[in-house]
Amino acid sequence: MVLSEKNQEIEDEKKKKKKKIEKAREKELKKQKALEKVAKLQAQQTSTNRKKSEKKMVKRGGKEENSEDFLDPETPFGEKKRLSSQMAKQYSPTAVEKSWYAWWELSGFFVADAKSSKPPFVIILPPPNVTGALHIGHALTAAVEDTIIRWRRMSGYNTLWVPGMDHAGIATQVLIPFPI
């Protein structure tokens, strides 16, 4: 009787192991099918994207974009920037702005005219926080102030953007204890 119970337990364990192996195989098959399905979808998307780009090409007249069309035309130093007939896909600051700055300086956009009939226009530029922690408010404020001061300068005002006072002095003293 003891022997038959042990045989029964051994057979039960064998059945459990067999079931585990079968489940593992099924799981592996499911993973394999899922991977095949993903690969198939990616292949379809790639072919769809190719078809779309071909359709765009046909709509544009069959021309492929040539990087030579977007080359920065030669602009003599200090003259107004000449732009190419077509705009490049990506913005390249060095190509676009290298001639602008010299032209702005020679045109006198950065020089205030003391004899101007227009009143002075001053904005105080707050310094960055002593903690060094900046946020979107700082960036937005600086961008808006920069735009306003440039617009006023180009409109003929005597503009001045003064590095100014510490707008966060009290908060700074709370965060960073100063030795007395």
Among candidate residues 120, 117, 84, 79, the one with its CA nearest the CA of residue 100: 79
b/e code 11-38 from CB counts within 10 Å (16+ = b) = eeeeeeeeeeeeeeeeeeeeeeeeeeee
The model's pLDDT over 59-86, given as tens digits with 9 standing for 90+, comes to 666 555 555 555 666 777 777 776 666 6
Which residues, 6 or more positions from 104, have their beta carbon under 8 angstroms from its beta carbon?
Answer: 110
pTM of the model: 0.38
Q: What is the pLDDT of residue 26?
A: 92
> Does the pLDDT of residue 16 top 80, yes or no?
yes
> pLDDT exceeding 90 applies to what percent of the chain?
7
Instruction: Compute CA distances 162 → 60, 122, 127, 128, 146, whole Å.
Output: 50, 7, 10, 14, 11
Q: How far apart are CA 179 and CA 157, in angstroms?
A: 44
The model's pLDDT over 118-162, given as tens digits with 9 standing for 90+, comes to 888 888 877 666 565 666 677 788 888 889 988 888 888 888 888
